Structure 1
Amino acid sequence: MMLEPHLQLTMALGEGPQWDDNEQRLYWVDIKAGELHRLDPLNAQHEVFHFDEPVAHVVAHEGGGYLGAFRSGLWRLDDQLRKQQQLVEGPQDPAISWCNDCLCDPAGRFWVATKNDAERHPVAALFSYQGELREHFGGVTIGNGLAVSPDQRWLYFSDTPRYRIERYPLDIDSGTLGEAQLFADTRALALPGAPDGGAVDENGHYWIAMYGGGVVVHFNAEGEVIDSLPLLAPNPTKVIFGDSDLRTLYVTCARQELEQATLDQYPDAGSLFSTRVETPGLPPHRYRDPA
Structure 2
Amino acid sequence: MQVAPLFNSSAEHGEGPVWDPISQKIYWVDLLQGIYFKGDLSSSTMEEFSIGQPLGFLALRANQEGLVMGVRDGFGFYNEKSQLFNLIEPSPEQHNSEVRFNDGAVDPEGRVFGGTMEWNGADNKGKLFRLNTDHSWNVLEENIHITNGMGWNPEKDTFFMIDTNRNAVFAYDYEIESGNISNKRTHIKFANAEFPDGMTIDSEGGFWIALWGGSKLVHFDKKGNKIEEILMPVSHPTSCCFGGADLKTLIITTSKVALSEKERLENPLAGRLFKIETNTVGQIQSRYHG
- Listed as ranges, the gaps of 5+ residues in structure 2 are none
Equivalent residue number for residue 201 of structure 2: 200
> Is 1:101 paired with 2:94?
no
> Is 1:39 paired with 2:39?
yes
Alignment of 1:69-80 (within 5 A): 69-80=70-81
Equivalent residue number for residue 121 of structure 2: 119
Q: Deviations over 1:166-193 (max 9, x none)?
A: 11111111111111121111117xxx63
What SS class does the counterpart of residue 262 from structure 2 fall into? helix
Which of 132, 150, 169 aligns to 2:136? It is 132
Partners of 1:195 and 1:63 lie apart in 2 by: 33
Aligned-pair CA distance for 1:90: 4.3
Q: Please, which moves more after superposition, 68-77 or 266-275?
A: 68-77
> Is 1:11 paired with 2:15?
no
What SS class does the counterpart of residue 88 from structure 2 fall into? strand
What SS class does the counterpart of residue 263 from structure 2 fall into? helix
Equivalent residue number for residue 184 of structure 2: 180
Alignment of 1:209-220 (within 5 A): 209-220=210-221
Equivalent residue number for residue 150 of structure 2: 146
Partners of 1:96 and 1:79 lie apart in 2 by: 29
> Is 1:269 paired with 2:270?
yes
Aligned-pair CA distance for 1:55: 1.2
What SS class does the counterpart of residue 179 from structure 1 fall into? strand
Aligned-pair CA distance for 1:214: 0.8
What SS class does the counterpart of residue 161 from structure 1 fall into? helix
Aligned-pair CA distance for 1:227: 0.6
Partners of 1:81 and 1:168 lie apart in 2 by: 39
Partners of 1:94 and 1:246 lie apart in 2 by: 39
Residue pair 2:151, 2:159 contacting (<8 A) in 1 also: yes
Could you say if the C-alpha distance between residues 267 and 21 of structure 1 is closer, same or farther in structure 2, counting changes exceeding 3 Å? Answer: same
Equivalent residue number for residue 284 of structure 2: 283
Q: Deviations over 1:31-82 (max 9, x none)?
A: 1111110001111111111121111222221222221221111112224262
Partners of 2:176 and 2:194 lie apart in 1 by: 31
Could you say if the C-alpha distance between residues 205 and 275 of structure 1 is closer, same or farther in structure 2, counting changes exceeding 3 Å? Answer: same
Q: Deviations over 1:136-179 (max 9, x none)?
A: 11111110020111111111111101111111111111111111
Aligned-pair CA distance for 1:4: 2.3
Aligned-pair CA distance for 1:2: 4.2
Q: Please, which moves more after superposition, 261-270 or 154-163?
A: 261-270
Residue pair 1:239, 1:250 contacting (<8 A) in 2 also: yes
Residue pair 1:253, 1:269 contacting (<8 A) in 2 also: yes
What SS class does the counterpart of residue 261 from structure 1 fall into? helix
Equivalent residue number for residue 252 of structure 2: 251
Residue pair 1:91, 1:98 contacting (<8 A) in 2 also: no
Equivalent residue number for residue 24 of structure 1: 24
Residue pair 1:94, 1:117 contacting (<8 A) in 2 also: no
Q: TM-score, normalised by structure 1?
A: 0.94
What SS class does the counterpart of residue 178 from structure 1 fall into? strand
Partners of 1:114 and 1:165 lie apart in 2 by: 16
Amino acid aligned to 1:238: S
Aligned residue-pair number: 286
Could you say if the C-alpha distance between residues 178 and 255 of structure 1 is closer, same or farther in structure 2, counting changes exceeding 3 Å? Answer: same
Aligned-pair CA distance for 1:85: 2.8
Q: TM-score, normalised by structure 2?
A: 0.94
